[in-house]
Homo-oligomer: A and B are copies of this chain.
Amino acid sequence: MRVNGKNYHAVWMRENTVRMVDQLALPFRFRIKKSDSWEESAQAISDMTVRGAGTIGATAAFAVLQALLASSQKNYVKNCTHAVREIKKTRPTANDLFYAADSMLEEINKSSSFSGARQNAEKKARWIFESYLESGEKIGLHGNALLRKNACVLTHCNAGWLALVDWGSATAPIYAASRTGKKPFVFVDETRPRLQGAKLTAWELAQEKIAHCVIADNAAGHFMQKGEIDIVITGADRIAMNGDTANKIGTYEKSVLARENGIPFYIAAPLSTFDTHTESGKEIIIEERSQSEVLRVFGRGKHHTGEVEIYSKKSPAKNPAFDVTPAKYITGFITPKGIIKPKESEIRGLFK
């Protein structure tokens, strides 16, 4: 998608160098970070320079390729095995991270020669990268059909192109609608505590010149009640086989409010988000993150850009990172293979 009028991907690789949009610097600075080694690329995943399932997956694939390209013929299997082990430690719950790193290693292991391994690994990394691009584009194609002209869409957190190499999941239908002249308008939940809606989604939309506004998470229900929102589209972190969906904290609230107000509520996701090993939301453990994410916000002051404490440290916080939206509140899933109902039979059908 566009930044300052030029097209970018969230991460890409040329020669031995991985380049990525530094998501920690956004929205205050747009900066491309370079990584010349698998260690640096792994570090970029763990320190959240890159984030989002697809972008993490592509970065992990590139990192394994970097490990291979930096190896001598003698040690390449050992080196790559070690690198994959380390890369998989960078984030605890990102399914795409494990999938990308493991399938790169598999490719390397099954090759009969060093040069064959290099060729196959390069092809595999390219394929992983492009499959994320294609997922986003197809989600956009299918999701666009749900949006009328001038549709008002509510979204939560950032399931944008920054998170899926390009197009995004929740944003893909919006970008597709914009490019087909529908002029969508987007209500962007700021998404406390980490504010990925305000910091990333709003920035993406501004760069793509799509009309939008940032709202306090508290205001979404009010705009639904007033009839100003036509459809809600969010991404997902993990989707169970019965349709229950784990996503950023607050998604459950929006789903209940959407149903109460008769507004369709869709989850947009690539196939890698559907977890065939999880039967229902009951099995999903919710990560409790640091209290300091609630206590502190990152912002730009007159004199200083950094974190400020917004209340007294004497008060503790609770900070569940995700919640589970039961399938009954979900109108449908927008997938690269089309739009499906939140039913086990339809979800399993995606994998046939």
Residues of A within 8 A of B (CB): 27-28, 187-188, 190-193, 195, 198-199, 202-203, 205-206, 212-223, 225, 248-250, 252-253, 256-257, 260, 286, 294-312, 314-320, 323-324
Contact = CB atoms under 8 A, between A and B. Distances in A.
In order of increasing CB-CB distance, the 5 nearest A-B pairs are A218-B250, A299-B308, A221-B253, A198-B311, A202-B315
A311 B199 contact: yes
Contacts of A323: 219, 221-222, 225
Contacts of A195: 310-311
B249 A203 contact: no
Number of copies: 2
A189 to B, nearest CB: 8
Contact of A317 (B214, B253, B296, B319): B214
B253 A198 contact: no
A52 to B, nearest CB: 18
Given A205-B315, A300-B308, A315-B202, A294 B221 contact: no
A39 B86 CA distance: 66
Nearest to A26: B312
A73 B186 CA distance: 62
10 contacts: A27-B311, A190-B311, A192-B216, A193-B216, A221-B252, A223-B318, A256-B256, A299-B309, A301-B301, A305-B308
A157 B193 CA distance: 17
A257 B253 contact: yes
Contacts of A286: 222
B203 A311 contact: yes
Nearest to A194: B216
A125 to B, nearest CB: 33
A213 B218 CA distance: 18
Contacts of A213: 315-318
B320 A310 contact: no
Given A27-B311, A304-B304, A219 B188 contact: no
Nearest to A308: B299
Given A218-B249, A218-B253, 8 more contacts: A188-B315, A190-B311, A214-B295, A217-B218, A221-B250, A221-B253, A299-B308, A301-B306
